[in-house]
A and B are shown apart, each in its own frame.
Chain A
Amino acid sequence: MSSFTEKFYQDFIEDDRWKFILNGLKITLIVTAFALIIGVAIGVVVGIIRCAHDQQSGKELTGIKKTALNILNALCHIYLTVIRGTPALVQLLIMYFVILVSAKSKVMVAVLTFGINSGAYVAEIIRGGIMSIDRGQMEAGRSLGLSYVQTMTKIILPQAFKASLPALVNELITLLKETSICGYIGLNELTRGGDIIRGTTFDALLPLLGVAVVYLAIVHLISYMFSFVERRLRKSDRH
């Protein structure tokens, strides 16, 4: 037992080594939060473009608008293929060593990489959500004289968002854990924090276990919070 206490002291208390964990967690949360914002923004736009293209093609759109939508859809398609077809780690390395090679902030590189990466997955989640809404909802809106955009924003998207929420929370959790690869570009996030302690004290078990527990706690907190949100959103489903 005394050896455990000793190791615990060595790993976390001595020289304030717990700060590696705490500061790492801060970086992890910052990267996750901003990447999430970028990801949702990209995802909603791309998801809607893809749906609009599928629903509108051959219908009322003509001329320049139709061409614009076709081009946008093609761009979205390329984006989705590239991002979903390559590992996030490779994207991170390319971003850091090639595209943003002169960037001063590693946090920014990570935020951009994960934002762009997550956007592709969010886009497909949103698209799935929109497609899960009965066609009659759009038809009813349009039959009343509402435009495509009005029906989309007032009727379809609120329902699609609700339907997508479990998958979006899942994406958020995945995103949070995936930021652990930022150590590859020397960003001192949570996982690397634990790893630095391991490298200093030569004890692997406690630092890594500590890191794992922190991830678990955060993920648990996220699912707990969103279960409340889901319950609130479900109020229109009660019978």
Chain B
Amino acid sequence: MIGIRDLKKNFGDNEILRGISYDIEKGEKIAVIGPSGSGKSTFLRCINLLETPTSGQIFFKGEEITSPDVDVNRIRSHMGMVFQHFNLFNNLTIMDNITLAPVTLKLQTAEEAKENALSLLERVNLTDKADAYPSQLSGGQKQRIAIVRSLAMNPEVMLFDEPTSALDPEMVGEVLEVIRELAESGMTLVIVTHEMGFAREVANKVLFVDEGIIKEENDPLSFFNDPKDDRLKEFLSKVL
């Protein structure tokens, strides 16, 4: 579904991504791990073009989205993204956070969007927060709403950028639970994470990104039990 060809990204003279190629099939759950500064977040942000690649190509359902005349807004409306710092719209209620994009982009009427939002809120047990503002929610609640906000667009793939890194430890579980349910429903997921246990359990492929390239990719069992790359061995020995 997503094809990445020799993706490179520089910030000034700083080479963050130095040639990444990878294919993501529909329904796959990809976990991306790696040390901080390795480029794993940049890699994720290139997929929905929040970062403009310096060179290389990205294909989404056969269409080259890195081509200059592609409508990025249309592409992004098919890709959900969840951020480390939630980024809920502070000026809007939870309900409006969820319905803003589908209604503004005329994908749903206001009534449809509201109905859809309520059933999504039910899924994450936050129906009672519909009229609250983001500042009234806990971190775990905010992240669950952020996931729901993305889901309201009926995306074909969900990108998670360290979704639990900014959470208090006791709130990590509730967010991972929602992502796990999402994975079980068949959604295509790419998740940058430091939660090794979660990656092992939910992902069907784990990528180790370091120094701007994919150093190793494997199914979770072999990835964690039988790592080949020396940097990965060292990394796993520190985090496991």
Binding site for B on A (CB under 8 A): 59-60, 62, 134, 136-137, 139-147, 150, 154-155, 158-159, 162, 235-239
Contact = CB atoms under 8 A, between A and B. Distances in A.
B41 to A, nearest CB: 12
A159 B88 contact: no
Contacts of A145: 73-78, 101, 105, 153
A143 B89 contact: no
Nearest to A159: B91
Contact of A136 (B48, B87, B133): B87
B153 A139 contact: no
B150 interface: yes
Interface of B: 48, 50, 52, 68, 72-81, 83, 85-93, 100-101, 104-105, 133-136, 146, 149-150, 153
B90 A236 contact: yes
5 contacts: A140-B87, A142-B73, A143-B79, A145-B77, A150-B104
Contact of A140 (B72, B75, B83): B83
Nearest to B50: A139
Contacts of B85: 134, 136
Which of A60, A143, A147, A159 gathers most chain B CB within 10 Å? Answer: A143
A59 to B, nearest CB: 6
Contacts of A59: 52
B50 to A, nearest CB: 6
A139 B105 contact: no
A26 B76 CA distance: 54
Contacts of A238: 133, 135-136
A131 to B, nearest CB: 16
A140 B89 contact: yes
Nearest to B79: A143
Contact of B89 (A60, A137, A147, A235): A137
A226 B150 CA distance: 37
Contacts of A155: 89, 91-92, 100
A146 B91 contact: no
B52 A60 contact: yes
Contact of B90 (A62, A137, A147): A137
A159 B90 CA distance: 8
A62 B74 CA distance: 18
B68 A62 contact: yes
A158 B73 CA distance: 22
Contacts of A143: 48, 50, 76, 79-81, 83, 150
A146 B101 contact: yes
Nearest to A139: B50
Nearest to A143: B81
Contact of A147 (B73, B75, B88): B73
B91 A236 contact: yes
A212 to B, nearest CB: 40
A96 to B, nearest CB: 43
A150 B72 CA distance: 14
Contacts of B74: 145
Would you list the 5 A-B pairs with minimal beta carbon distance, nearest first? A145-B77, A136-B87, A140-B87, A144-B101, A143-B81
B101 A239 contact: no
B135 A236 contact: yes
Contacts of A162: 91
A238 B153 CA distance: 28
Contacts of B88: 140
A149 to B, nearest CB: 10
B171 to A, nearest CB: 17
Nearest to B152: A144
A139 B73 contact: no
B135 A239 contact: yes
Nearest to B72: A60
A144 B87 contact: no
- Greatest chain A CB density within 10 A among B93, B104, B136, B150 is at B104
Contacts of A239: 135-136
B87 A137 contact: yes
A116 B75 CA distance: 42
A113 to B, nearest CB: 35
